[in-house]
């Protein structure tokens, strides 16, 4: 019978190895272990025989080596950061403040507002101490009348931008937005005012001190304004905002003079009580009158339509002027453009309104709807 020519399979143990191979493998393993033990003993002996000076030099060499490794790692991090594209907008198209947060170093007090199209550099952003000087300068110029609204608005928006990119949220930030809101009201810029008061609402919710009650009243008046400007198809515009504001009012807040005045204005507008509205307009506290100025034309036109239905056939023009507080050039322009038809009275002067044939307009020629 022929012998098998199969090659024996090697394993990690020596049991299955051929007798001629097993001693060789054992000798190799034994020599490797002996060599490692010998090297460890030699290293230990060298360390034990080092003098203190040699040991110190060895430690210093190790520290230099570690320092070099740290510098190399830092360089790799910086290189990877530089190769990444800078982000300004997030996936939703809004400013990515996390990626843009910086600490400004610019010492320039006045700076024109420019919309960001790339991440701002610290050298172009003013720190808080410079921003305080800039705000004081703008407030002084505005009070003195040495600057117009376009300049003041640009400077204030620039201050707001520097606060935003540095993520400043403190009492100074509130002061900036409050100042800009008041100047915008004085200039009749309702849209800019709304931007400021919206941001102020968020800051007040974070318990940052400011004139929260005053601007709560302004917010009520703004919601009234939005409701008056809304088109018929959007008659609920402003209602949701008003509902949210009313939910914030506690019994104590309702007793506040400024808030109570705003609530009375809301009631007068809702009831079409133009007589009460103009009485409240003449008694407006703080800067509430500026917001009510934006409502005056709409309230007058609504009241005229009611009058033309309630009074027939004629209505005295002087009565309308007295009720609507119509005076001066602005009053004459309103009478001319509102759509009333004037007829002669007994003296032959056109001082009577033909309520039947008058066609009251919805808006004046220079008045545009907000919505």
List pLDDT tens digits, range 337-352. Answer: 999 999 998 888 888 9
The answer to the question of residue 282 being in a domain is yes
The answer, yes or no, to whether residue 269 has pLDDT greater than 60, is: yes
Find the CATH number of the domain harbouring 240: 1.25.40.990
Query: What confidence tens digit (pLDDT) does each residue in 24-54 have?
Result: 445 545 655 666 666 665 555 555 566 777 7
Q: What's the pLDDT at 52?
A: 78
The answer, yes or no, to whether residue 364 has pLDDT greater than 90, is: no
DSSP string for residues in 336-371: HHS---EEE-TTSSEEEEETTT----SS-TT-----
**Residue 205: domain span:** 122-312
The answer to the question of residue 191 being in a domain is yes
Tokens of 234: 């959007």
- Give the helix/strand (H/E) hosting 314: strand 314-316
* pLDDT average, residue stretch 246-255: 91
The answer, yes or no, to whether residue 277 has pLDDT greater than 90, is: yes
* pLDDT average, residue stretch 213-232: 89
The answer to the question of residue 114 being in a domain is no
Residues 6+ apart with CB under 8 A from 228: 269, 295, 298, 299
Q: What's the pLDDT at 83?
A: 41
pTM of the model as a whole: 0.70
Tokens of 360: 């009251």
The number of folded domains in the chain is: 1
Q: What's the pLDDT at 347?
A: 86
pLDDT band, very low/low/confident/very high, at 363 (cuts 50, 70, 90): confident
* Span of 28-37, 193-202, 218-227 with lowest mean pLDDT: 28-37
Q: What's the pLDDT at 12?
A: 45
The answer to the question of residue 338 being in a domain is no
CA atoms of 186 and 331, how far apart (whole Å): 20
The answer to whether the beta carbons of residues 338 and 360 sit under 8 Å apart is yes
CA 248 to chain centre: 21
pLDDT band, very low/low/confident/very high, at 17 (cuts 50, 70, 90): very low
pLDDT band, very low/low/confident/very high, at 79 (cuts 50, 70, 90): very low
The answer to the question of residue 55 being in a domain is no
State what percent of residues in the chain have pLDDT above 70.
Answer: 73
CA atoms of 128 and 104, how far apart (whole Å): 8
Strands 314-316, 350-354: pairing kind: antiparallel
Higher pLDDT, 337 or 118: 337
The answer to the question of residue 95 being in a domain is no
What is the average pLDDT score of the chain? Answer: 82
Query: What confidence tens digit (pLDDT) does each residue in 318-332 have?
Result: 999 999 999 888 888
Q: What's the pLDDT at 370?
A: 39
CA atoms of 177 and 159, how far apart (whole Å): 10
The answer to the question of residue 263 being in a domain is yes
Q: Which of 67, 78, 155 is nearest to 114 (CA)?
A: 155
pLDDT band, very low/low/confident/very high, at 222 (cuts 50, 70, 90): very high
The answer, yes or no, to whether residue 151 has pLDDT greater than 80, is: yes
Q: What's the pLDDT at 56?
A: 79
Highest mean pLDDT of the ranges 9-13, 68-72, 277-281, 310-314: 277-281
The answer to the question of residue 232 being in a domain is yes
pLDDT band, very low/low/confident/very high, at 11 (cuts 50, 70, 90): very low
Length of the chain: 371
The answer to whether the beta carbons of residues 154 and 113 sit under 8 Å apart is yes
CA atoms of 352 and 342, how far apart (whole Å): 6
CA atoms of 134 and 152, how far apart (whole Å): 11
Q: What's the pLDDT at 212?
A: 94
Q: What's the pLDDT at 315?
A: 92
Q: What's the pLDDT at 41?
A: 58
DSSP string for residues in 74-123: HHHHHHHHHHSPP-SB-TTSSB-HHHH--------S-------SSPPPGG
- Give the helix/strand (H/E) hosting 242: helix 239-247
Q: What's the pLDDT at 42?
A: 58
Residues 6+ apart with CB under 8 A from 292: 221, 265, 277, 280, 281, 284
Residues 6+ apart with CB under 8 A from 156: 135, 138, 176, 179, 180, 183
């Amino acid at each position: 019978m022929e012998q098998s020519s199969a090659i024996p399979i090697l394993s990690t143990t020596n049991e299955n190895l051929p007798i001629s191979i097993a001693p060789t493998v054992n000798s190799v393993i034994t020599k490797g272990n002996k060599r490692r033990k010998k090297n460890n003993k030699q290293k230990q002996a060298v360390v034990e025989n080092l003098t203190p000076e040699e040991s110190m030099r060895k430690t210093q060499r190790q520290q230099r080596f570690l320092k070099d490794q740290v510098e190399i790692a830092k360089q790799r991090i910086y290189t990877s950061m530089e190769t990444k594209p800078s982000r300004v907008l997030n996936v939703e198209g809004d400013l990515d403040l996390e990626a843009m947060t910086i600490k400004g170093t610019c010492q320039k007090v006045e700076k024109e507002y420019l919309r960001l199209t790339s991440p701002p550099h610290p050298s172009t952003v003013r720190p808080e101490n410079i921003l305080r000087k800039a705000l004081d300068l703008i407030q002084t110029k505005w009070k003195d009348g040495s600057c117009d609204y376009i300049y003041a608005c640009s400077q204030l928006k620039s201050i707001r931008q520097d606060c935003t990119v540095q993520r400043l949220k403190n009492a100074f930030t509130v002061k900036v937005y409050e100042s800009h809101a008041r100047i915008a009201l004085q200039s009749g810029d309702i849209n800019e005012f709304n931007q400021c008061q919206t941001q102020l609402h968020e800051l007040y919710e974070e318990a940052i001190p400011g004139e929260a009650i005053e601007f709560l009243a302004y917010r009520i008046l703004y919601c009234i304004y939005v409701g008056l400007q809304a088109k018929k198809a959007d008659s609920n515009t402003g209602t949701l905002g008003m509902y949210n504001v009313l939910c914030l009012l506690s019994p104590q807040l309702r007793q506040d003079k400024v808030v109570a005045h705003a609530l009375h204005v809301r009631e007068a507008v809702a009831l079409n009580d133009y007589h009460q509205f103009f009485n409240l307009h003449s008694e407006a506290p703080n800067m509430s009158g500026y917001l009510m100025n934006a409502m005056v034309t709409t309230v007058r036109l609504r009241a005229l339509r009611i009058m033309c239905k309630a009074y027939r056939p004629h209505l005295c023009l002087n009565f309308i002027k007295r009720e609507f507080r119509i005076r001066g050039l602005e009053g004459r322009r309103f009478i001319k453009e509102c759509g009333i038809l004037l007829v002669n009275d007994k003296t032959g002067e056109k001082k009577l309104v033909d309520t039947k044939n008058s066609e009251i307009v919805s808006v004046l020629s220079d008045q545009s709807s907000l919505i």
